[in-house]
Amino acid sequence: MALSNLDRVNKGLELLRKGLYPYVIREMKEVHKAYWLEAASSSFPEDHHSRELSPEEWDVQALLAIMWKNWNGTFNRRLGFGERSIVSELMEIRKRAAHQNKTNVFDTDDAFRALDNVERLLSAIAAPEAEEADNQKNELLRVRYEENTRKKTRAIEAKSVIDSSAIGLKPWRQVITPHPDVASGKFQQAEFAADLWRVDQDGEAQENMVSH
């Protein structure tokens, strides 16, 4: 069964969770020492369920939130502004994936961008999962190429049908021979209008005759 774009995004986010977990714990411990858990938990809103979970149970959104809230002084020691932007975008991607509906669907380009961000962040922290993320991204790139090829093929076939239907059709002048005056250009628009007026008047006269 073929994977949907949402399936691919969720697989990438799970891979990101595996790669981020040891890195986030290590960095928080290195900076906050014995108080690292309190510092990490304070990254979550007061009523957030992650406050009641053990670190092993944190999902990818919790890990990204810790990175975002503790960026200055902790994660910016080794990562730059580009990685911070990726963290922010991945938080939105995770939220979108968790609340996807018919009006909020990942297309192939969206899924590719999500996997690309996953791979870039994992590469930035030298996580071994970066290689698998790259494989997932390249697989989706192949799928996207095949989709684009099918779209172009359908467009070419549709154009071929239109072109072939027009083959053999004669110009209208060969099907309907115009009056010699019209063909020669001698027939004036005023005369044409006058003739139309006569047709209209004659039609009314005939109706009057029938009614009487």
Would you place residue 188 in the very low, low, confident or very high pLDDT band (cuts 50, 70, 90)? low
* HSE-up (13 A, CA, CB side) for residue 11: 17
Give this prediction's pTM.
Answer: 0.71
Output DSSP code: residue 107: -
In this structure, the number of other CB atoms found within 10 A of the CB of residue 79 comes to 18
pLDDT, average across residues 91-96: 96
H helical segments located in the chain: 5-32, 36-41, 60-69, 81-98, 108-124, 130-166, 172-175, 180-184, 189-211
Would you place residue 100 in the very low, low, confident or very high pLDDT band (cuts 50, 70, 90)? confident
Alpha carbons 68 and 66: distance in angstroms, whole number: 5
CB of 40 within 8 A of CB of 69?
Answer: no
Alpha carbons 129 and 104: distance in angstroms, whole number: 28
pLDDT at 118: 98
